[in-house]
Amino acid sequence: MEHEFKGERTETGINEGRRWRHGSRFQYTLDTHGESVVDIEVTYWGGDRGRKFDILVNSKRISSEELKGSKPGEFFAKRYSIPESIIKAASNGRVTVKFVATQWLAGGVYDIRLLRSEK
């Protein structure tokens, strides 16, 4: 999951055999592989709570997230649509996905994938 990782005050570890990352802010750069309509799928741990953060793609906020510990003991994935205008403006078909804490920490993020949109 490294994809040109950059971050500030980040930590990483293992939970239930899967690697996580959290921090005050961190980002990954992903390739759209020529797709013009894509979503981001992020996997979280259902027991994480008290974390609020923004998700930005190429510096534009696409979502604000709050982890509330609503699925203890399990992983869950959430999909976020990326506006087509962001993809069209992307340099070399690459997007930078940034997680920025607004309260305590951003994440933990266990997996991040760029997928064809279900729309």
In terms of residue numbers, what domain contains 99?
6-116
> Is-contact 76 41, C-beta < 8 A?
no
User: Structural domain tally of the chain?
Assistant: 1
Asked whether residue 1 is assigned to any structural domain, the reply reads no
Asked whether residue 108 is assigned to any structural domain, the reply reads yes
Instruction: Output the pTM of the full model.
Output: 0.92
CATH of the domain at 93: 2.60.120.260
pLDDT in tens, 61-115: 999 999 999 999 999 999 999 999 999 999 788 999 999 999 999 999 999 999 9
pLDDT at 1 over 70: no
The angle formed by the CA atoms of residues 64, 53 and 62, to the nearest 5 degrees, is: 35
What is the structure's pLDDT at 60?
97
pLDDT in tens, 42-76: 999 999 999 999 999 999 999 999 999 999 999 99
